[in-house]
Amino acid sequence: MIGIGLTGLGLVLIIEGLVYALAPSLVEDMLAALRQLSIPDRRLVGLAVLATGAALLWLATLIGA
C-alpha cells in the first residue's frame, strides 16, 4: 500500500516538474488567471480537479481489475 502511495506521489511530482521545466511562462499565466477568480470559483475548480482525479483512479482500477 505504501508503494502505491509513493508511486502516485512520484507521478504527480514528475508531471509538476515537467510543467515547470517545459512551460514556466504558462505557469505564470495560469497563476495570474487564478488570481482573477474569486475564492468560491477557485474552490469549485479545485473540487472539479479532485473529482476528475478520483474518476480517473476509479477507471484505472476498473481497467486493471
Query: What's residue 64's pLDDT?
Result: 83
Contact criterion met (CB below 8 Å) for 31 and 23:
no
Give the domain ranges of the chain. Answer: 24-65
Task: Give the residue-averaged pLDDT of 18-23.
Answer: 93
Hey, what's the cell of 3? 508503494
* Residue 7 pLDDT greater than 70, yes or no: yes
* Residue 12 pLDDT greater than 80, yes or no: yes
Distance (Å, whole) CA 16 – CA 32:
18
Hey, what's the cell of 13? 511530482
pLDDT tens column, 25-36: 999 999 999 999
Average pLDDT, the chain: 91
Residue 37 amino acid letter: L
* Residue 17 pLDDT greater than 90, yes or no: yes
